[in-house]
Amino acid sequence: MKNIIMSRLIAPSLLAADFTNLRRDIEMVNNSDADWFHLDVMDGVFVPNISFGIPVIKAIKKVAQKPLDVHLMIVEPDRYIKKFKDAGANHLTVHVEACRHLHRTIQEIREMGMKAGVTLNPHTPVHFLEEIIPMVDIVLIMSVNPGFGGQTFIKSTVSKIKKTRELIEKSGSKALIEVDGGIDLNNAADLYDAGVNILVTGTTVFQSADPAETIHQLKNAR
């Protein structure tokens, strides 16, 4: 892999925020070194959990001062593309495993004016991206099985990230690599070194004594 300078973005996952003090946690992210808000939408069908939906995203949009990075863990995401756009999503990421016609889904997301992302579950190989990578703005690699926060990082994800970086460079794509699950101060630097651009962190940030300082440390991990 070429030795190139990679961007470093932090996207705190509001799934781990305190929903009784959600405005406080949103303002913390607004005032921190974080770059995006990461919003996990789960339907209890595609993944074994239910999170929040469009009304909550609309409410977050009113307070958030940074882009909303919306990750759909739902079946039939095509049905809701415009609704998430109208709710305030700046980026919309769908799963390879959930899309019957992925090319069309990505096309529709981009036509709506959002950045389009594609997610790979831990069991899904990188070669599934080969035909779609020129159209994709973000590749989100799950480093845990999706559905719940606070899980342990799957170590083989590092190799998967390197393969994704190689594919991006070979294809000439400008896609950013995002990774989500089990990320903390112990593995952040290794993930940057492997080729990651964006770290999604929930528990590590919101359960720390000083969330804003933790965000700063994650962004500057060495």
Which tokens belong to 170? 């070979």
Catalytic residue among 25, 35, 137, 180: 180
Check if 180 is active-site: yes
Nearest alpha-carbon partner for 129 in 168, 176, 76, 172: 168
Distance, CA of 40 to CA of 146 (rounded, Å)? 10
Distance, CA of 104 to CA of 95 (rounded, Å)? 13
Which tokens belong to 204? 């590590």
Q: By the 8 A CB rule, do 143 and 157 touch?
A: yes
Catalytic residue among 40, 43, 69, 137: 40
Angle between the 211-219 and 22-30 helix axes, to the nearest 10 degrees? Answer: 40
Check if 137 is active-site: no
Task: Give catalytic residue positions.
Answer: 40, 180
